[in-house]
Amino acid sequence: MKRLAVAIISGLIFGLGLVISGMMNPAKVIGFLDIAGNWDPSLAIVLAGASGITMLTFRLILKRQRPILDTKFHTPTRTDVDSTLVVGAGIFGIGWGIVGFCPGPVYATLLLGRSAPLVVFVSMIAGMTAFKCGNAYVAHLRGKVSAQGGVA
């Protein structure tokens, strides 16, 4: 029950921050991304505030033996930058620049009843599914090649 309460409170805080900061407005986001044109730097304050608070609180929280509502911290184990990360970040940036939504605001704006966020949401799910299926297919092909004595 505590986990659910924390999840609800966290979601409310996140959603409130999205609305107040203007992150749910695609025009504002696109204005921020348009650094070569009519740049709107206001979302840089949002980014700096979020990053600063996160850096400070993570340092404090990770000093604990374990989280309050879990048995261990779930922190990233990989820190390398590989081609998948670079390509994925580039594709994410292209999508973000085209529509002005990143995933959090898309979820939040679904409740507003507009069609654009729904189209973006369905397209995001389709893209993630295509990637997952493509990866599974490549792994399957590599397994077949290995099983036949070839190089995986």
Q: What does the alpha-carbon distance between residue 26 and residue 113 come to, in Å, rounded to a whole number?
A: 15
Give the number of domains in the chain.
1
Structural domain including 53 reads 2-81
In a domain, 6, yes or no: yes
3-state secondary structure labels for all residues of 85-110: HHHHHHHHHHHHHHHCCCHHHHHHHH
Nearest to 25 by CA among 39, 43, 52: 43
In a domain, 121, yes or no: no
In a domain, 40, yes or no: yes
Whether the model pTM is above 0.75: no
In a domain, 65, yes or no: yes
Report pLDDT digits (tens) over 28-69.
888 888 889 889 998 899 889 999 999 999 999 999 999 888
Q: Give the rounded percent of residues in the chain with a pLDDT score beyond 70.
A: 94
Model pLDDT, residue 99: 87
